[in-house]
Chain A
Amino acid sequence: MEYETVIGLETHCQLKTQSKMFCACANEFGADPNTNVCPVCLGMPGVLPVPNERALQLTALTGYLLNCEVPKFAKFDRKNYFYPDVCKDYQITQFDFPSTTTGHVDFEFEGGIERVRITRAHLEEDVGKNNHFDQHSGVDFNRAGVPLLEIVSEPDIRSADMAYEYLNALKDILIYGGVSDCDMEKGMVRCDVNISVRPKGATELGTKVEIKNMNTFSGVRRAINYEVPRQIETLESGGSLVQETRRWDDDAGITETMRSKEHAHDYRYFPEPDLMPLRPSEEWLAEVRTHIVELPLARKQRFVADYGIPEQDAEVFVGNVLLGDFFEKAVDGSKNAKAVANWVINNLQAQLTETETSVDDLKFGPEAIRELVEIIDGGTISSKGGQEVFSELFKNGGSPRAIVDAKGLTQVSDTGELEKWCQDAIEANPGPADDVRNGKENAINFLKGQVMKASRGKANPQLVGETLAKLLKD
């Protein structure tokens, strides 16, 4: 029998805020254990949470970036469970009225565009981190109270690879929006996978298994690639699956039972009485909307469509927003977008990397690249001369035309002068000249090089070729 895999993801991302969700402690990775803590995020008796305005804004912004609705009413709830890393033994989260609902993420997958629907993205507080030593355990509460966005997808994902691409697209969007740094190394993104299989064509969903404890996207992919055959084999061999939570063991590369449905937690959600419901005003939402950015996929598609540049070039401009913005200004009014893109990617980007500087540090404006392309295309200088102009431009700024004038780089297209250089080259190199005459056409390149050398690069290469050919034929 053929099976179909059904996957939904719950992705947790730490928001990029200065301070924690409900107190003023720093939201910072890597500090010594229990140094970014206060009575509030330690859950001391008598403390109360105060919501971080920035986190609320970033949550709404994420909603817009994920094409979600941002409801006019949302609230916080308590999720009750005892665990040493949960300082209050309840987590403040959003249960039935989350800050954003019903959106979608579009992304490229296997040559097409896929859409995964987003059920909701809700705001909650991160918990501390348990550390186990030889004889005892410790809890580091630095992470406790860091604002965390849980992005829940609909079960629209059909394969491990699709899950992987979805996660990368999601990550790019969050980084693009300035919502999260999504640094996997620092545990800023964590995933739970809900996965089931069913006979192809079936409409009912199969038994759902939740997999926890994957902290890389490739881990998610591996876990799914382990879990799907496991589920299919169980069914094929006449067994049945149980609804359960499984843990991914990254070292062993397997999933194993963590707890069954019977032992599932009853989280006893109820409205958080210490916090007022959220009722974002139209003005507040309008302010948030001013921070909406163009999404990576949309940008790529627009660059390809509007400028006619190859996808790979567009991807460079998606990956490096500053460079892409620079390109857009440079190409404005240009007849040769492809050449502008080449100069920006091959020369400018390379120089910036080499000198460890950024677009903001440049001594020239984007219009200089447009001008450079113009004078090359117009035959004023050769592309080799262009390199020299660009070097000068990068070093000291100025305009390409002025540099050409100052350096005397104007290309020589005067037939008399060209003929003299060509005649000299033929006479000085009778061997190669005979080769050409005897039909070895490639030998003409050597002669061309000699002419370029004699003209110190100023000779118009195309005319040099034509002139040499004419002289050698005569």
Chain B
Amino acid sequence: MNDHAGSLLTEKRKRTQDLYLRFLIFLCASFTVLLLAGIIVYVLMAGMHRVSWSFLTSVTSVLKGTVGIAGNIVNTVMIIFMTAVIATPVGVGAAIYLNEYARPGKLVDGIEFATETLSGIPSIIFGLFGMMFFGQTLGLGYSLLTGSLTLILMVLPLITRNTQEALKTVPDSYRHGAVGLGAGKWHTIRTILLPSAMPGIITGVILAIGRIVGESAALLFTAGSAKALPRTIGDLFPKVFQSGGTMTIQLYLSATSEGDFETAFGIAVVLLLLVFLINLGTKSLAANFDVTRKK
């Protein structure tokens, strides 16, 4: 009798505990969703009215009375371009070496370890190193080039890892088939493996672009904060060796030392839009990641 009552009691306690924990789980999950919704709504409300054609196409100037981020947009695009153009072949090359050439051993362990370590180093350390090495030792100063060289090291692991994953999904029968037909290794890589792994490589590059768009700490002491807009296309090349702040840097400066929150939120709107588009892009690519499923 007593026993029975006792087990009923524990059963009841069990159920209230279950209910309580279930409630907590729902609370946490809805917090995550509401947090994102809150961020989007707040940024849009605070910054949407700032974003206009002239905001995107002019440069902030007291003289002309304009407020705009065109210079920062050009800087961002240039840094993305320079970084991607160099980091992509190097990252893909490293992945090819690791997956197709290397035999397990000390060297491969070292490379894997270094890649892992690079992806764990925070961007402020990359910024510090970039400032010391590219900026001072190599004498490039505060420039878009210094910024790009720094970011190359930062996004390299991202591209290498994604390419490796993509290469792993290419079935070995493809490789055996090519070799059986008399193709050399490089020929096989060029004509069979790289095309098959392309969605994975592009995913890696887009992820890297997303990382660059959002990056700030690594650029503050390497690329600097200038916001001038090149007047002609010909002015773009010397710009490589000049200081230039990306959109994130301008957001940071607007919100702190310049105290111009309207501009800061305007940039935030543009940045949010960009990173969401990038996210969408990687998702649609990931859908046809696996070559064996492709028709």
Task: Indicate, yes or no, whether A interacts with B.
Answer: no
Residues of B within 8 A of A (CB): none
